[in-house]
Amino acid sequence: MNNNLDRLLEKIKEQAELIDKLNQRSDFRFRSNQALILEYGQAFTKTIKPPFKGKIKSCFENCFQALLKYPNFHYCEGFAIDDELPLAVSHAWLINETGEVIDPTWIGEQYKNSTYFGVAFDQEFVFEFARKIKHYGILDSDYRNDHQLLREGFPPSALHPTFHSSTSVTE
């Protein structure tokens, strides 16, 4: 593992444990997005230059809109970190068929050592979720869906079959 991946996983676990301690009343299967991503996620460490530059601080919109123009890209969400960030940040990015990260939001020297941990979603699920909740982003918008993902986890149809088996990573 590279240094930032170790640090990213450590930060996600710390955040999940803190939320778990604070959220004792929840009967959800997952008490946080961090716990959900730790269960289903995977590392994405190799990046390539994106073919376009998105708007700053608009990762969810940038990646969603890119699917319309680049149908061979796959939408991902989870957490990311760079050399300077002190915590794991909720983020969206794209990947190509070989799992290389294409991040239209984090561009420039500052982000050259960015590391990502999350899930690749099936494109149909991404579009259907956006139609249903009328908002960009999946994890941070789950509250608009009555926390169904935190309550139950990801349905098998949500995850891209090339990058995820039908069961969670830790099972």
pLDDT in tens, 103-129: 999 999 989 899 999 999 999 999 999
Residue 170 lies in a domain: no
The string of pLDDT tens digits covering residues 35-60 is 999 999 999 999 999 999 999 999 99
Residue 60 lies in a domain: yes
To the nearest 10°, report the CA torsion of 133, 135, 141, 144.
Answer: -30
Residue 66 lies in a domain: yes
Residue 98 lies in a domain: yes
Residue 164 lies in a domain: no
The string of pLDDT tens digits covering residues 87-105 is 999 999 999 999 999 999 9
Residue 163 lies in a domain: no
CA angle, 59 then 64 then 66, to 5°: 95
Residue 17 lies in a domain: yes
Q: How many domains does the chain have?
A: 1
**What is the separation, in whole angstroms, between the first and last Cα of the chain?**
21
Give the residue numbers spanning the domain of 25. Answer: 3-158
Distance CA 93, CA 21 (A): 29
Residue 121: helix, strand or coil by DSSP?
Answer: strand
Nearest residue to 66 (alpha-carbon basis) of 56, 52, 47, 78: 52
